[in-house]
Amino acid sequence: MAVLVGKKAPTFEADAVIKGGEFQEKFSLQQYIGKKYVVFFFYPADFTFVCPTELIAFQKKLEEFEKRNVAVVGCSVDSKFSHWAWLNTPQEKGGIQGVTYPIVADLSKTISENYDVLAGEYDYNEEGEMEFDGEPASYRGLFLIDKQGVVRHQVVNDMPLGRSVDETLRMVDALSFYEEHGEVCPADWHAGEEGLKENAESISDYLGKRKE
């Protein structure tokens, strides 16, 4: 599994469904460079069991991300038509109707490969025929990308394990705090707490302040 933290996020142009039902060709994260942070997350497939809980959870907190100047973008190996159908299926019937952030169609699986979250790979069998070894879907990868297009945080879960949207917001807050104040964020840091200045105080002094 590749570690992309500290590196430029892989670029792409692909079909996407935006605003809950509009098709867009050549969608790219490059549109956010210099303007917004990006939370770019992968999920295994449309019309599955765990995935709608995640996509709907991100939608419920979308206003919180927007307050922090963050664009949320989802992606799976499904087609734009599958995304559109899922977006137009009511939530009580297993759909994600009401989700408004962009969902990218990675039908070729190249985006998932470039972010190294594809749960398998193409290879040649003994007969010289190309076949896919593994599951042709994405793990639950999530990448926090800064305004310069650099990955600052990544987490990859196996398919049965849903992610924490609140933890994603915490990481956005931590990155923003560091960029604004130049202070690092220790374990379990949350917005509103003090950060750590390098060599400014001992860890024990800092922990003592947190208990007060």
Give me the catalytic one of 51, 117, 156, 174: 51
At CA 41, angle to CA 37 and CA 47, rounded to 5?
140
Phi, psi (deg, nearest 5) at residue 44: -65, -50
Neighbours of 36 (CB within 10 A): 18
d(CA 17, CA 83): 7
Tell me the C-alpha distance between 207 and 89, whole Å. 49
Q: How far apart are CA 111 and CA 41, in angstroms?
A: 11
Residue 51 among the catalytic residues: yes
**Buried-state track 170-184, b at ≥16 Cβ within 10 A, e below 16:** bbbbbbbbeeeeeee
Q: Can you state the percent helix, strand and coil of the chain, rounding each to 5?
A: 30, 30, 40
Catalytic residues, by residue number, are 51
